[in-house]
A and B are shown apart, each in its own frame.
Chain A
Amino acid sequence: MMKYSESHIKELRERAKQIRRLIVQMLCKACSGHPGGSLSSTDLVTVLYFAVLRHRPQEPLWPDRDRFHMSKGHCCPLWYAVLAESGYFPKEKLWTLRQLGSMLQGHPDRRTPGVEVGSGSLGQGLSVACGMCLAGKMDKKEFRVYCLIGDGEMQEGNIWEAAMSAAHYKLDNLCVMLDFNGFQIDGKVADVMNVEPVKDKWKAFGWNTIEIDGHNIKEILSAYDKAAEAKGKPSIIIAHTVKGKGVSFMENMVDFHGRAPTKEETETALRELQ
């Protein structure tokens, strides 16, 4: 545990808060988008980009870079904020989210520096990540591939085709992060189409499973380490999260899956995120 110093953890926590502020502001400016899932995945993706991922923001196509793919593409405000914070493009660009001609499309698009492959139609991204892993293994590259999926997304058949394939091809260079926030557009995941038992399902498909509190920085750091140590099988970090995390009136509110905050709500949110 010594390797995660308190100051480093504190720094990551502050960074995540800054990312959350950017997300709320971007969505308010855009007047549409998906705050709930962006905020629930913020800690996972922030820790990934600022403590785990081997990447060069000034050289986005560096061949040996680790890859990140956001299969749940609707959470791209989070991705864009993290990319801007990392230095892939100027932060001013964030205020063009969802505008005509912007490189920051409503769902991820390759025209954004740092976006490997666009996404948006759920379920496909895990397969895309598997393809990257297979290519890496073929070329005997050391890079790892990280893929963010949602719990509602687990209802897609394509996810399970990919889950089977990743285990079959022993893709131990793959680490999936499941943003298990328990909500989807139509309500609670458990009510709409139950995905439990989540851990048992992934285990049965041959995966290394790591279950954590998706907002505990130390647990997230440790989970990425454990995933990297697992050999011969892909890993999934089942991260229990809170939809809308960090903004009290968005937390666990289905309404904020796909609704942008108003100006007043944004001000309140920013005060909470100080």
Chain B
Amino acid sequence: MGEMLYQRDVYGKTLVELGRENKDVVVMDADLSSSTRTNIFAREFPGRFFNCGVAEQNLMATAAGMASCSKIVFASTFAMFATGRAWDQVRNSICYNHLNVKIVATHAGLSVGPDGATHQALEDIALMRAIPNMNIIVPCDGPQTREAIIAASRIPGPFYIRLGRPKFPTLENKGEFVFGKAQVLMQGGDVAIIACGTMVNEAVSAAGSLLKKGVRARVINMHTIRPLDAGVIRLAAEETKGIVVCEEHSTVGGLSSAVGEVAAETRPVRVKRLCVRERFGQSGESSELLKEYNLTSGDIEKAAAGIVTGNDT
């Protein structure tokens, strides 16, 4: 297993890198800079860092105003508040005006852990995916976080980048990150596993176990959720017996919905979804929660094997 890294640490350091390169890079936060790690940038460039206090609506609309004056604005807070509290501002001030604001939200999904349900965003991808003009990236580990942040900084327009709270293992040999193009991490023609964020590592583990049992699973890291790499989904649908999608998100509107939509519209195929179904999160350690909500490599393995054998009730 690769190095364990906090995506948010990588985010903070990457901001400094970008800040040195370009004086128009500005960073904003809403009283969570020590958690989102935008404080790393704030220490280096205090004149280009703006704390809005606990006021997410103001955070997003102010970011829009700054972007209208040619700034590249990174706006950060927890995923729950970035997307839920300030959705109207994100839609009407940022996306409708197609402004250059990069919302980098941390503490997404169940793996937030002990803070519990109010802090575990399970609907954020759905909320952002519903807005025209919004680009969405869910990096799978530390190094990919850096690549995603740099890519977003160079492409004009709004972005939502979703990061987790705990340390993630670094996945080796992923190849180059290309915005909008999924990474096939393991080849296989029996079943396809599509994942994003934390779940990519679980998917790779599951595929490893399956391989020992003679099942060849294709593992796809769908780091870009908007625009979605529909080609890789169509190929998976054509060349395998079915698709397993897993993510730390609700079954409604996230990656699994997006994959299902492409499959239903172009290549109908069995899509089994490992997501959170009609439930809120709760307190617990990350690993306990992923187990409780059936989001482990074991669950993925079972779902994939079910598709291959046809015993997938």
Q: List 7 A-B contacts (CB under 8 A).
A: A118-B97, A124-B89, A127-B58, A131-B73, A132-B66, A162-B62, A168-B53
- Please report whether the interface of chain A is mostly helix, strand, loop or mixed according to DSSP: helix
* A144-174 contact mask (Cβ, 8 Å, vs B): 1 or 0: 0000000000000110011011001100000
Asked if A124 meets B93 with Cβ closer than 8 Å, knowing A131-B65, A132-B69, A162-B62, the reply is yes
Contact A165 B68 (CB under 8 A): no
Contacts of B68 in A (CB 8 A): 116-117, 128, 131-132, 135
Task: Identify which of B47, B62, B92, B96 contacts A131 (C-beta below 8 A).
Answer: B62
Nearest Cβ on chain A to B116's Cβ, whole angstroms = 25
| Contact residues, B71-101 vs A (CB, 8 A) | 71, 73, 88-89, 91-93, 96-99
| Residue A230 lies at the interface, judged by CB distance under 8 Å to chain B | no
A: residues with CB less than 8 A from B are 69, 109-110, 116-121, 123-136, 138-139, 157-158, 161-162, 164-165, 168-169
| Contact residues, B131-163 vs A (CB, 8 A) | none
Contacts of B58 in A (CB 8 A): 127, 130, 158, 161-162, 164-165
Task: Identify which of A117, A123, A164 contacts B65 (C-beta below 8 A).
Answer: A117
Contact A135 B70 (CB under 8 A): yes
| Residue B217 lies at the interface, judged by CB distance under 8 Å to chain A | no
Asked if A117 meets B97 with Cβ closer than 8 Å, knowing A123-B57, A161-B55, A169-B50, the reply is yes
Taking CB as reference atom, which chain A residue is nearest B66?
A: A131
Contact B48 A138 (CB under 8 A): yes
Taking CB as reference atom, which chain B residue is nearest A143?
A: B69
Contacts of A109 in B (CB 8 A): 96
Contacts of B53 in A (CB 8 A): 161, 164-165, 168
Asked if A124 meets B57 with Cβ closer than 8 Å, knowing A118-B97, A138-B26, A138-B48, the reply is yes
Contacts of B50 in A (CB 8 A): 134, 169
| Residue B303 lies at the interface, judged by CB distance under 8 Å to chain A | no
Contacts A120-B92, A127-B58, A158-B61 known; 5 new A-B pairs at CB < 8 A: A130-B62, A131-B67, A139-B69, A164-B53, A164-B55
| Residue B64 lies at the interface, judged by CB distance under 8 Å to chain A | yes
Q: How far is the CA of A157 from the CA of B89 in the complex (A)?
A: 12
Contact A157 B69 (CB under 8 A): no
Taking CB as reference atom, which chain A residue is nearest B52?
A: A165
Q: How far is the CA of A139 from the CA of B70 in the complex (A)?
A: 11
Contact A129 B65 (CB under 8 A): yes
Q: How far is the CA of A162 from the CA of B53 in the complex (A)?
A: 11
Q: How far is the CA of A132 from the CA of B88 in the complex (A)?
A: 19
Q: How far is the CA of A123 from the CA of B55 in the complex (A)?
A: 13
Contacts of B26 in A (CB 8 A): 135, 138
| Residue B63 lies at the interface, judged by CB distance under 8 Å to chain A | yes
Q: How far is the CA of A118 from the CA of B60 in the complex (A)?
A: 14
Contact A127 B61 (CB under 8 A): yes
